[in-house]
Amino acid sequence: MMGMLDNFRSSAWIYLTPVAAACAPIGVLRTYFNQHLRRPVRRFLPFLDPFVTIDIAAKPEDHSYSYYNSKAKSSDAYAEVLAYLSVVCSRDARQLRAEGADEGHGFVLSLREGQEVADEFRGVTMWWSAVVEDKASHRSSGRCCRLTFHEKHRRLVVDEYLPHVRRTGQDVTVGNRPRRLYTNKNNRDYGSPRDEVWSYINFDHPTTFDTLAMDPDEKQSIMDDLDDFRNNKDYYRRIGRAWKRGYLLHGPPGTGKSTMIAAMANYLNYDIYDIELTTLHSNYDLRKLFIETKSKSIVVIEDIDCSLDLSGHRATTMPPTQDDELDDVASERKRRRGSMLTLSGLLNFIDGLWSAHSGERIIVFTTNHLDKLDPALIRRGRMDKHIEMSYCRFEAFRTLAENYLEVDEHPLFDAIKELLQVVDITPADVAECIMMSKRAARDADACLGSLVHELKKKLEDKEERKKVEEHDAKMATDEKLASENGKKHNAEEDAAAKPNGREAMANGVSESSSFSEEDC
Ligand SMILES: Nc1ncnc2c1ncn2[C@@H]1O[C@H](COP(=O)(O)OP(=O)(O)OP(=O)(O)O)[C@@H](O)[C@H]1O
Ligand SMILES: [Mg+2]
What does the pLDDT look like over 14-24, one tens digit per residue?
Answer: 444 444 445 45
Q: Is the CB of 431 under 6 A from ligand 1?
A: yes
- 80: helix, strand or coil: helix
Residue 314 has pLDDT above 50, yes or no: no
Q: What is the pLDDT of residues 349-374, one digit of tens each?
A: 777 776 666 678 899 999 999 988 88
Q: How confident is the model at residue 324 (pLDDT cuts 50, 70, 90)?
A: very low
Residue 389 has pLDDT above 90, yes or no: yes
d(CA 461, CA 154): 76
d(CA 185, CA 198): 6
Q: Kindly identify the ligand whose nearest atom is closest to the C-alpha of 427.
A: 1
Dihedrals phi, psi of 353, to nearest 5 degrees: -60, -35
Q: What is the pLDDT of residues 98-137, one digit of tens each?
A: 776 666 566 667 777 777 888 999 999 999 988 876 555 5
pLDDT for 317: 41
Neighbours of 297 (CB within 10 A): 21
Alpha carbon dihedral 131, 135, 138, 144, in 10-degree steps, equals 30
pLDDT for 67: 39
Q: Which residue has the higher pLDDT, 464 or 65?
A: 464
Q: What is the pLDDT of residues 253-278, one digit of tens each?
A: 999 999 999 999 999 999 999 998 88
pLDDT for 107: 67
Neighbours of 382 (CB within 10 A): 17
d(CA 319, CA 335): 7
Q: How confident is the model at residue 70 (pLDDT cuts 50, 70, 90)?
A: very low
Q: Is the CB of 433 under 6 A from ligand 1?
A: no
Q: Confirm if 419 and 456 have CB atoms less than 8 A apart.
A: yes
Q: Which residue has the higher pLDDT, 356 or 459?
A: 459
Q: Confirm if 360 and 229 have CB atoms less than 8 A apart.
A: yes
Cα within 13 Å of Cα(161), Cβ side: 20
- Express the helix, strand and coil content of the chain in percent, nearest 5 each: 55, 15, 30
Dihedrals phi, psi of 53, to nearest 5 degrees: -120, 145
Helix (H) or strand (E) holding 387: strand 385-388
Q: How confident is the model at residue 311 (pLDDT cuts 50, 70, 90)?
A: very low
Compute the C-alpha angle 114/145/161, nearest 5°.
Answer: 125
Least confident of 211-220, 223-232, 479-488: 479-488
Beta strands (DSSP E) in 69-179 are: 96-100, 107-111, 116-121, 124-133, 142-150
What is the 449 CA–ligand 2 centroid distance (Å)? 28
Q: Is the CB of 250 under 6 A from ligand 1?
A: no
pLDDT for 69: 43
Q: Kindly identify the ligand whose nearest atom is closest to the C-alpha of 250.
A: 1
Residue 179 has pLDDT above 50, yes or no: yes
pLDDT for 402: 92
pLDDT for 104: 59
Q: Is the CB of 368 under 6 A from ligand 1?
A: yes
Q: How confident is the model at residue 206 (pLDDT cuts 50, 70, 90)?
A: very high
Q: Which residue has the higher pLDDT, 89 or 82?
A: 82
Nearest CA to ligand 1 atom 25: 253
State which of 259, 369, 391, 429 you would mutate to test the pocket of ligand 1, scoring each by most atoms of that ligand within 8 A of its C-beta.
259
Helix (H) or strand (E) holding 284: helix 283-291
Radius of gyration in angstroms for the set of CA atoms belonging to the chain, rounded to a whole number: 36
Residue 96 has pLDDT above 90, yes or no: no
Average pLDDT value over all residues in the chain? 77
Q: Confirm if 394 and 417 have CB atoms less than 8 A apart.
A: yes
Neighbours of ion ligand 2 (CB under 5 A): 257-258
Q: Is the CB of 213 under 6 A from ligand 1?
A: yes
pLDDT for 117: 84
d(CA 430, CA 391): 10
Neighbours of 156 (CB within 10 A): 17
pLDDT for 367: 94
Q: Confirm if 311 and 340 have CB atoms less than 8 A apart.
A: no
Q: Which residue has the higher pLDDT, 330 or 357?
A: 357
pLDDT for 249: 96
Residue 469 has pLDDT above 50, yes or no: yes
d(CA 56, CA 157): 14
d(CA 426, CA 253): 8
Alpha carbon dihedral 83, 89, 95, 96, in 10-degree steps, equals 20
Complex ipTM more than 0.95, yes or no: yes
State which of 212, 247, 258, 367 you would mutate to test the pocket of ligand 1, scoring each by most atoms of that ligand within 8 A of its C-beta.
258
Phi-psi region of 442 (alpha: psi -120 to 50; beta: other; left: phi over 0): left
Residue 427 has pLDDT above 90, yes or no: yes
Q: How confident is the model at residue 212 (pLDDT cuts 50, 70, 90)?
A: very high
State which of 222, 255, 402 you would mutate to test the pocket of ligand 1, scoring each by most atoms of that ligand within 8 A of its C-beta.
255
